[in-house]
Structure 1
Amino acid sequence: MIKGIGHTAYTVKNMEKSLHFYCDILGFQKLFELKNSDDEPWIVYLKIREGQFIELFYGGKKTNEVDGSTIGYAHLCLEVTDIHEIANYLKKNGLKLDVEPLQGLDLNFQCWVKDPDGNAIEFMQMNPDSPQMKN
């Protein structure tokens, strides 16, 4: 029924910085842009791989009316082939890792970084013995 991650969406403060991060550093492809009914820039669509996308929405801040906290996903997880290779690549491109490569409780290897708007991104190298790979 569920095939995989189709996309995840973020409202960004600075589209230029976000496109640099996602396209120039992480290597995703900018596919297309959508404009709203007033013909203003609205969404930029990025391709991760066939059938998987990220939507970047221009500006604004979505907040919870009850406690004022930001509404959104906790993090985006991207599967990688080599956790140390991606960690070194990110650092080489001037990014500070929030979590250096380590093995999690699920046996997968992970490291973490934030995008220009502070959204947490987990990079995960799957372990053949992890529960995700056994199910």
Structure 2
Amino acid sequence: MQRHVWLQPVIARPMVRWCYADKLAQKGSNMMLQLNEPALHAGVVTDNGERMLDFYTRVLGLKSVGEVSFPELGVVHKLRCGHSLLKLLVLDQPATSNNPRGGFSSATGYRYLCMSIMNLDEVVDACRKDGCDIPVAVKEIRPGVKAAMIEDPDNNAIELMQMD
């Protein structure tokens, strides 16, 4: 039986960043966004719903917090990741084109998700055991910071980073 590995998001560091941004806004900086919540939600579109939901919920341990149906489009599954949501849109009909292959630096635009976690080695090991591609193995990128790049079943890149 496959063991569940739960991402352990680092909450303290992002909250410090959000508090700093709020202070800048109060001081009259040029910050235009007035955030409702300390989060940036991301959307991933797929026609591989069952496998993608399994990866994000069972392998990474994101929690399903609801879904919304859009007639003639598909279903958005809301998956909680810290303060943020990953919105997985499972299409009713196959997409007309696919995510460009070749890694996260092969094309411009939104190309990868980033997650700051506390259990990098454990999560990457669980992904490897589940058959995920690991384009960049765990390595120290600067003193006290390790990172890896994994891919979900649709080959979307996810950067995982751990700061000691």
TM over 0.5: yes
Please give the range of the TM-score, normalised by the shorter of the 2 chains. 0.7 to 0.9
CA deviation digits over 1:90-117, x for unaligned, max 9? 2222223111111225852101111111
In the alignment, what sits opposite 2:60?
26
Question: In structure 2, the residue corresponding to 1:54 is in which secondary structure?
Answer: strand
Partners in 1 of 2:60 and 2:151 — Cα distance? 12
- Post-superposition shift, 1:54? 0.2
Q: Does the 8 A contact of 1:62 with 1:70 survive in 2?
A: no
Partners in 2 of 1:70 and 1:35 — Cα distance? 31
Identify unmatched segments of 5+ residues in structure 1: 64-68, 128-135
1:71-90 superposed matches below 5 A: 73-90=110-127
Identify unmatched segments of 5+ residues in structure 2: 1-21, 23-34, 99-105
- Post-superposition shift, 1:6? 2.9
Q: Which runs of 4+ in 1 moved over 4 A?
A: 69-72
* Normalised TM-score (structure 2): 0.62
Question: In structure 1, the residue corresponding to 2:149 is in which secondary structure?
Answer: strand
Change (3 A) 1:89 1:18: same
Change (3 A) 1:19 1:112: same
Q: Does the 8 A contact of 1:44 with 1:57 survive in 2?
A: yes
Q: Does the 8 A contact of 1:112 with 1:122 survive in 2?
A: yes
Whose radius of gyration is greater, 1 or 2?
2
C-alpha RMSD of matched pairs (Å): 2.7
Mapped pair 1:123 → 2:152: no
CA deviation digits over 1:37-85, x for unaligned, max 9? x376331111113x2110011233578xxxxx98852111111113222
Q: Which has the higher strand share?
A: 1
> Which one-letter code corresponds to 1:13 in the other structure?
D
> Which one-letter code corresponds to 1:97 in the other structure?
I
Count residues in correspondence: 120
In the alignment, what sits opposite 1:133?
none
> Which one-letter code corresponds to 1:46 in the other structure?
L
* Normalised TM-score (structure 1): 0.73
Question: In structure 1, the residue corresponding to 2:58 is in which secondary structure?
Answer: helix
Greater CA deviation, 21-30 or 102-111?
A: 102-111
Change (3 A) 1:45 1:106: farther
